Amino acid sequence: MKTESRVSEKSPSFDPSDTQRIEISQPKEWAAGIPAVLSAYKNVTTKAGAIKGTRLLSDLNQIEGFDCPGCAWPDPLEKRATFEFCENGAKAVADEATTKRADAEFFAQHSVSKMRGESDRWLNDHGRLVQPMWLPEGASHYQPIEWSSAFEMIATQLNQLDTPDQAAFYTSGRTGNEAAFLYQLFVRKFGTNNLPDCSNMCHESSGVGLGETIGVGKGTVSLEDLEHAEAIFVFGQNPGTNHPRMLSSLQAAKRHGAKIVAVNPLDETGLKRFKNPQEVSGVIGSGTALRDLYLPVKINGDVALLKGLCKSLIERDSQHQPVLDHQFIEQYCHGFDEFKTDIEQTSWQDIEQGSGLTHAQIEEAADIACSSKKTICCWAMGMTQHKNAVANIQLMTNFLMLQGNLGKPGAGVCPVRGHSNVQGDRTMGIWEKPEPAFLDALEKEFSFSPPRANGVDAVETVHGMQKGDIKVLFALGGNFFRAMPDHQANDKGLSQCELTVQVSTKLNRSHLHTGKQALILPALGRTEIDTQESGIQTITVENSMGVIQTSHGKIPPASTLLKSEIDILAQLAAHTLKNDTIDWLALSADYRLIRDHIANVIPGFENFNQRIDELGEFVLPNGVRDARKFVTATGKANFVVHAIESVEVPKGCLLMMTIRSHDQFNTTVYTNNDRYRGIHGTRKVLFINRLDIEALGLKAGQHVSIRSHWPNDKAALREVSDFALVEYGIPRGCAAAYYPETNDLIPIGSVADKSNTPAYKSIVISLHA
Ligand SMILES: Nc1nc2c(c(=O)[nH]1)N[C@H]1C(S)=C(S)[C@@H](COP(=O)(O)OP(=O)(O)OC[C@H]3O[C@@H](n4cnc5c(=O)[nH]c(N)nc54)[C@H](O)[C@@H]3O)O[C@H]1N2
Ligand SMILES: Nc1nc2c(c(=O)[nH]1)N[C@H]1C(S)=C(S)[C@@H](COP(=O)(O)OP(=O)(O)OC[C@H]3O[C@@H](n4cnc5c(=O)[nH]c(N)nc54)[C@H](O)[C@@H]3O)O[C@H]1N2
Ligand SMILES: [Mo]
């Protein structure tokens, strides 16, 4: 066994590929069009090969094809285009279908310590993981291990724990419904609710906020609603990059006469103008202008803006313009009087100061709301990753409630999910705070007593590992180390674990920051044919709008040694839970049997197999959407009072958000370019207002170190270095940089109230030449 220190001198932010030529140009004025089609084909054919690549693109998002692993945007229920994909979905597929392999020889050549000094892009570029690998205690290199030995090792570790709560089981949102159901069942039979997931870092604030206001933690609109809305407000979202197929829906809405308002510190290209590559006019014409109004809100200025919007509507209504839907408020809502009083007492001065917008700009947005009978609010991470994120969500909902924009066609809330099945994983019970009714149904179906105490979420997992309370971390997909904030805290926690296990498709930094021993279990991807004892298997996913769809892998697996996630989980359960009443291996031999259990446990999945056999897909019930039914503490939709609370930014400091570039999928970096924002050759940039550059005595292009400041921070210094200043259209006092290179700047304790989501988009920073 080779040994060598596992500690690397280089910080994980080091990126050797940054040496390529750096070019900064003007941000683009339109999205998609021919460059997007070319980029899609180039990515798929260069990585997967011409024949396999073209095949993959034609199966993507088709009824008999596979669900795109890129994002959770829905596919049209009928009339799918021949090529129902986007540039970035194609990149995600190409990345999985790559012909490169990170095999045993690769791991023999590269020590863990050496790989720690490489960039995220370098790690991912080595291709698919093809066989189980083991990092023994004290070893410098991973070495191959048999599947059976790996399962035995995990089972032994788990069964040696003092209590099941000493293990945590993470999930990233690519996992399909069947695997998710099996996973939570195993974890609860093992005896814990420690099921942290990527939702904890993502839309948790939406779930918590919506749960309290309208009683359902999901969106209430369909694709059709979106296309027939009269006004669409897009808050804190960059769909041109992260949900490109949403642009087609926005285009359809525009053609039906909708007005679109973009609320964002950055005037994102995708919301300006869209050239639809599916249409001739998108190829040769000038495309469709999307947003009618752009509101350059300050980072975290949305609570103030939303209070301003509500104030304007309430003022207009009291001046005898029929603006509010009093009947809806009377019949379906609770807490309106208190809300109204609070809004009336909030001054325009505080609203302007808090939002960074003028009263006139807010009135312009209110004009659009008032002229619409059907309004939708869409949002993503710009709203959910702040200290007061839950307030953001609740005020958006309240803004809609004022005009009765819930539970009617063309109106409602639309949290746009990230990972392709993050919403489905929750529906299947991947949740550290399960509902009692769900546990009751599980108890009845499988005749056991599931644990009732809440488990740990993602942030609590890091605290737990640091304190020594959690000794085993098992991760079903994802990149827990890199996606979470505060690498120092996370590394300390992980290194104290007895065992860390990653079920993965590609190499990432979580394979390098491990427990005393570590395992990599390589899994089949969404694109690959999944053959089990009963034949070729189908899985299902739930998209952002509550539609259950099937997904069928189409290409041969990257290696004969790969196992499906379901097979891995079933084997793990069979090894760990001795003499169990459930025949786990029978479930993995035929996924239909898992769906039969889901049908018995989860409302809305009755006749699951039959419905997908006959229809291919079906829509889950949603009380708010279908019947204006609000299952909240008051039995009504709740208005909630929130104060304008701004993050304190000391003089000379800026408030920074962390964002995605056009060429990454979360922690997977494809290239160092961000075409729409005009960045080429580097990810180490800080977007900043020209006047702030001047005020700080700096120059555009200059390289600086970024330091973060947080009142309760116990760390000595949090700093990332060598970031080039890019003069950009962003409000004064605000800045932006890419995730994950900046994740170490965020202390693990800096989280959203109530949802405990890391405040990835409110980081107080200072710059140092
Ligand atoms: N190609 C691609 N697709 C993806 C992903 C990917 O990485 N790549 N990731 C997937 C996942 S998991 C997710 S969650 C989604 C993420 O999708 P997005 O939420 O669109 O992703 P972010 O880059 O985090 O963008 C946040 C947006 O919010 C804005 N913003 C930041 N702070 C504020 C604020 O305080 N107020 C307002 N109004 N706006 C603000 C930023 O300027 C940016 O436009 O995308 C999913 N789809
Ligand atoms: N600073 C900052 N940090 C953030 C965010 C931010 O906006 N700013 N966003 C947060 C958000 S919204 C999210 S969702 C998290 C993302 O957190 P995660 O979901 O944990 O991270 P990903 O980067 O999506 O995970 C990528 C890895 O998943 C594995 N993988 C891919 N496909 C499959 C599959 O089919 N099966 C299995 N088993 N493995 C697979 C591959 O090994 C790949 O390396 O990051 C969060 N972190
Ligand atoms: Mo996400």
C-beta of residue 230 within 8 angstroms of C-beta of residue 257 = yes
The tens digit of pLDDT for each residue in 232-291 reads 999 999 999 999 989 999 999 999 999 999 999 999 999 999 988 777 666 667 888 999
Distance 172 CA to ligand 3 centre (A): 9
Domain ranges for the chain: 3-27+653-768, 101-200+421-531+555-577, 204-415
Does residue 296 line the site of ligand 1, with CB under 6 A?
no
Q: What is the DSSP letter of 292?
A: S
Q: What is the DSSP letter of 73?
A: P
CATH architecture of 3-27+653-768: Beta Barrel (2.40)
The tens digit of pLDDT for each residue in 178-197 reads 999 999 999 999 999 999 99
Distance 532 CA to ligand 1 centre (A): 37
The tens digit of pLDDT for each residue in 563-622 reads 999 999 999 999 999 999 999 999 999 999 999 999 999 999 999 999 999 988 999 999
Q: May I ask the CATH class of domain 101-200+421-531+555-577?
A: alpha beta
Name the β-bridge partners of 232: 260, 376
Global pTM reads 0.96
The ligand 2 site (C-beta within 6 Å) comprises 172, 174, 198, 201-202, 381, 385, 418-419, 476-480, 483, 503-506, 508, 523, 525-526, 565, 658, 666-668, 739-740, 743, 760
| E strand or H helix at 766 | strand 763-768
Under the banding of pLDDT at 50, 70 and 90, the label for residue 468 is very high
Under the banding of pLDDT at 50, 70 and 90, the label for residue 110 is very high
Q: Tell me phi and psi for residue 397, to 5 degrees.
A: -65, -45
Q: Which CATH number fits domain 204-415: 3.40.50.720, 1.10.10.10, 3.40.228.10, 3.40.1280.10?
A: 3.40.228.10
Tokens of 731: 């409000």
Which residue type is seen at 666?
N
708 CB-side CA count, 13 A: 31
Q: How far is the C-alpha of 430 from the C-alpha of 177, rounded, in Å? A: 10
Nearest CA to ligand 1 atom 19: 381
Nearest CA to ligand 2 atom 21: 478
Mean pLDDT of the 461-481 span: 98
Tokens of 699: 């120059």
Q: What is the pLDDT of residue 320?
A: 80
Asked if pLDDT for residue 115 goes beyond 80, the answer is: yes
Nearest CA to ligand 1 atom 11: 418
Estimate to the nearest angstrom the gap between the alpha carbon of 101 and the chain centroid. Answer: 27
Distance 667 CA to ligand 2 centre (A): 6
Mean pLDDT of the 682-687 span: 96
Q: What is the pLDDT of residue 80?
A: 58
Ligand nearest to the CA of 67: 2
Q: How far is the C-alpha of 3 from the C-alpha of 605, rounded, in Å? A: 52
Distance 190 CA to ligand 3 centre (A): 28
Ligand 2 atom with minimal separation from the 480 CA: 20
What region does 138 belong to: left with phi over 0, alpha with psi -120 to 50, or beta? left
Name the β-bridge partners of 737: 658
Ligand 2 atom with minimal separation from the 740 CA: 1
Q: What is the pLDDT of residue 85?
A: 66
Ligand nearest to the CA of 383: 1
Asked if pLDDT for residue 334 goes beyond 60, the answer is: yes
Asked if pLDDT for residue 83 goes beyond 70, the answer is: no
